[in-house]
Amino acid sequence: MLALIQTIVLALDLYWWIIIASAIFSWLYAFNVINARNQFVGSIGNMLFRLTEPALRPIRRFMPDLGGIDISPIILLLILFFIRQLLLTTVAPILLSA
């Protein structure tokens, strides 16, 4: 059971970095730092969008309009951190003591 928790924590950590990469990519795209017409860059952007948008969309639905500032990735990172800490500090010790 501990292996399952470690695998979930690893998946949460990987998704954490995917969210950060998506945010950085969106900034680079918005400021025309990267070539948007490049097929490789477009496929990376599409992949990051498809991986993060299902989790970010419900958060954006409840967020007020902040005038072009999107803080939904920060909120999602906080949620992922909470779930990770809950698994490591609450669930794992209960499983280890049993």
Q: How far apart are CA 73 and CA 52, in angstroms?
A: 9
CA-based nearest residue to 16, from 87, 88, 76: 76
| DSSP state for residue 33 in the 8-state scheme | -
Residue with tokens 């990735």: 73
pTM reported for the whole predicted model: 0.90
pLDDT values of the chain reduced to their tens digit, one per residue, 98 residues: 889 999 999 999 999 999 999 999 999 999 989 988 999 999 999 999 999 999 999 999 999 888 888 899 999 999 999 999 999 999 999 988 87
Inter-residue contact 60 to 72 (CB < 8 Å): yes
